[in-house]
Chain A
Amino acid sequence: MLLATLNAQLGTSALIIGLTASIFGVCAQVIGVRRHDPKTIAQGTRFAFFVFGAAVMAFAVMERALITRDFSLSYVQKVGARTTPALYNVTAIWTSLEGSILLWLVILGGYTAAVAYRFRTRRTDPLVGWAMAVLYIISAFFFVLTLFPANPFKLAGSIKDGVGPNPLLQNHILVLFHPPMLYLGYVGMSVPFAFAIAALITGRVGEGWLMETRRWTLFAWGFLTIGILLGGWWSYEVLGWGGVWGWDPVENASFLPWLTGTAYIHSVMVQERRGMLRVWNLSLLVATFSLTILGTFLTRSGVLASVHSFSESGIGPYLLAFFGLVVFASLALIAWRGDRLRSPGSMDSPISREGAFLANNVIFGLFAFIILLGTVYPLLVEAIQNRKIVVGSPYFDQLGKPIGIALLFMMAIAPALPWRKASSEVLSKRLFWPAWGGVVAMAVALFVGADGITPIIAYGLAGFAAAAAIRQLVLASRRQGIRGFLGRANGGMIVHLGVILVAVGLVSSNSYSRQQTFDIKANSTVTFSGHTFTYTGIEKFDQAQRFGTKALISVDGHIYAPATTTYKSVGQTVPTPSVKTGLTEDIYLVLEDPKPASAADPIRLTVAIKPMIAWLWIGGLTMAFGTVLAAFPGKRRRRGTEPASAPIVERIPASPAEPAKPANPVPLEPVGADV
């Protein structure tokens, strides 16, 4: 104990405080709600701030340990080094398992505290009480993880220096943004999940809880989207193969909850509007949350090999057990509430907005199933036949392409479909000009040199979908002015435009990339794809943590410097590509082995031309912007109305003296109702 450092003691204490606060929070909420005791519930809500504070403290202590290079901690030994630059020393906290679970805890604590604050005036509402209890249970689980199998504050034998983060994680500034964004999305899904479970427990399975969690879900989805795209950008800038998505298990693990979350964001509108798909929506939320746990298990336990998996540990059984518990408990609750989950509404016609949402959900579900199957299939084969196989990009591409095409088609026609039933006359009128938008897109693509049936169909559908989205925005803004861009339907159309840009970027870069490797002598020029590349010399660099060689390449007269960088502590050499970014194409340069020893030596240079990659990032920004707009209420608000499932419960008296008011609905806040 005497040898324990201040950081270890403070960090462990913070984790114990957090775990205790989580357990007390669960107990207080459950007892308070069951006994209708507002005082206990109020106490229970306060624990949220203790949970958040404890997580922040543990995180801050670990940052302090990294910054002060406290090598008595095993985690600092693993990811810290005296030579690591300040920025990467700060981000080193989430470059390995234990620290990334700390980041998870901080964000979860933040969401829990935010829910406690947001619903502070309604904390006696059993729905909120049970949701808080579920959030505390999740927090308690992650505090247990950090205290036992993934404890970052474990002491280790003293050493003078560590190896620092994985070289790939100290080679680009995106490591500062990608993991926190992804976790904000992953962990954010805990909030709608908690309310879903609360709705099942309280029996208030109608539409009320959906209204409560609409924006929480939207923002979590937005963060997940941005996190995934930033991951693609990081992969593109750092890994040196020039791609943004390789269907790697870690990438798939982030994509799975995005798919089910996207399906939910659409299908929830059917429930709000028509009271249908209750079981389906609950199942989608359970799937989204449990897939975040399963994904963490698959990528952090070491069962699957991945280029992005920077750690292995013994947390696998814990995560698997928690995943099992979440799925079992959720399904049991859904079965228990089966009688209340019967939809009061019915579908008039498949050719309707709700029909399109249902079809889109089935497509998203099928896509998620295929990705999950392909990701875990090597594990199944190894378990059954003790044989290692790899399921890689070609499999996912082959099955993903028709699904992508189907989704683009749904995106094109769904905005034009009315609720309940569409007549052929209405459809013909609303779809005619958007469909011509698709024809124009196909013609433009062919005019600029595109070929191949699949890409041309994709461009056509992208043009069709874009025109459909623009049509809706134009009509909305004609009627409502600038507010025609707000609300879920109109903001959603801007998100659709972002998705279309991403789709066009992916189709173009996947279908028309060109690549060649050249051996170039000093001061020689090669031409490729209409560009000239002149090797003008080399530049060597030697910094505290790394050394390397830059080749100076004049691309059409402008100097670019692809490099290879060797990290001294681990002796690992990583490529550092140099990218000339443009709206129509990127020129991607990678310096290959063998490295030139002097400027007189030839170099081996891989040149890749990547069409329209920049549109992926522009599309991502558009999606983020659309998500923010979608979170604002549209013009029309259902003043004075309450959702069909307005809670009809006994209101808990504010004080023991005040009698309970049976059958008096808890007032709901006004709901921004958009289409």
Chain B
Amino acid sequence: MKKILTGWPGWLLLFAAVASLLIISYQRSSKPLTADQRTQSIAERIACPVCDGESVAESRAPAARDIRADIAKYVNDGQLSDEQIITKIDDASVQDLRLTPNGSGIDLLVWFLPAVAFAGAVAGLTMAFLKWRRPIPDHGPTDDDREVVAAAMRNGDGETNDGFSDGR
């Protein structure tokens, strides 16, 4: 019974449970954000113009407070999307206030290079595995092998493949 449970029926049940829980969480998360939550989420994407690397959401500076108030106003008006609000505030400032670089021009590189690095990492990993892979002899342990292992187990020095010698 235990073998059946931990075999493919058990895994099938597990995947079904995971899928059901993910569907429930998706349904719950499709609720729209409240105005405060939306204001906070936009404020987290805009840099405080007078601070050292803080977002408008984090900073206590008066300039950040003013921008937070502007965001709240735009959100309450309900006319603009998040991206439009960020663009409006960014355009009104002489500085670049976006905490996420644009996906254009030289700023594109900050997105492109991680993608290249990821592709390189996957390719490198695959090549490493292919290079190192070697066929494992098909024959089982010899009597000599069994003797060596038994002696080691008797001496308390034995270890299995994952570091335990409990015979798992």
Contacts and interface: CB of A to CB of B under 8 A. Distances in A.
B25 to A, nearest CB: 4
Given A246-B58, A674-B163, A358 B25 contact: no
Contacts of B29: 451-453
A6 interface: no
B21 A439 contact: yes
A418 B161 contact: yes
B52 A456 contact: no
A309 B114 contact: no
A80 to B, nearest CB: 24
Given A358-B128, A373-B113, A479 B166 contact: yes
B45 A432 contact: no
Contacts of A369: 113-114, 117
A457 B22 contact: yes
Contact of A389 (B96, B166, B168): B96
Interface in B1-34: 6-7, 10-11, 14, 17-18, 21-22, 24-26, 28-29, 31
Interface residues of B, number: 67
B132 A346 contact: yes
Contact of B164 (A306, A346, A389, A479): A479
A636 B113 contact: no
A675 B163 CA distance: 5
A87 interface: no
Interface string B153-167: 000110111111110
A515 B72 CA distance: 14
A450 B114 contact: no
A475 B165 CA distance: 10
A593 B65 CA distance: 10
A65 interface: no
B110 A390 contact: no
A309 B124 CA distance: 37
B60 A575 contact: yes
B114 A394 contact: no
Given A369-B114, A453-B22, A389 B107 contact: yes
A453 B25 contact: yes
Contacts of B95: 388
B36 A516 contact: yes
Interface in A367-403: 369-370, 373-374, 377, 381, 384-385, 387-395, 398-399
Interface in B100-122: 100-101, 106-107, 109-110, 113-114, 117-118, 121
Given A305-B53, A592-B60, A390 B133 contact: no
Nearest to A251: B53
A377 B11 contact: no
Nearest to A592: B60
Contact of A456 (B25, B133, B160): B25
Contacts of B21: 439, 442-443, 446, 456, 460
Interface stretch (A35-43, A282-290, A349-357, A595-603): A349-357
Contacts of A590: 60
B96 A392 contact: no
A478 B166 contact: yes
Residue from the set A305, A374, A393, A515 with the largest chain B CB neighbour count within 10 Å: A393
Interface string A210-233: 000000000000000000000000
Contacts of A389: 96, 98, 101, 107
A152 interface: no
A393 B99 contact: yes
Interface string B48-70: 00011111011110100100000
Given A358-B128, A392-B99, A398-B100, A475 B164 contact: yes
A476 interface: yes
Contacts of A539: none
Contact of B166 (A394, A430, A475): A475
B19 to A, nearest CB: 11
Nearest to B128: A358
A358 B125 contact: yes
A195 to B, nearest CB: 26
Interface string A49-91: 0000000000000000000000000000000000000000000
A399 B134 contact: no
A359 B165 contact: no
A307 interface: yes
Contacts of A362: 121, 124-125
Given A249-B53, A446-B21, A460-B18, A428 B11 contact: yes
A363 B114 CA distance: 12
12 contacts: A276-B132, A309-B52, A353-B162, A363-B121, A365-B121, A390-B96, A391-B101, A393-B44, A393-B55, A398-B100, A455-B25, A476-B164
Interface of A: 239-241, 243, 246, 248-249, 276, 304-307, 309, 346-350, 353, 355, 358-359, 362-363, 365-366, 369-370, 373-374, 377, 381, 384-385, 387-395, 398-399, 415-421, 428-430, 432-433, 435-436, 438-439, 442-443, 446, 450-453, 455-457, 460, 475-476, 478-479, 489, 514-516, 575, 590, 592-593, 636, 674-675
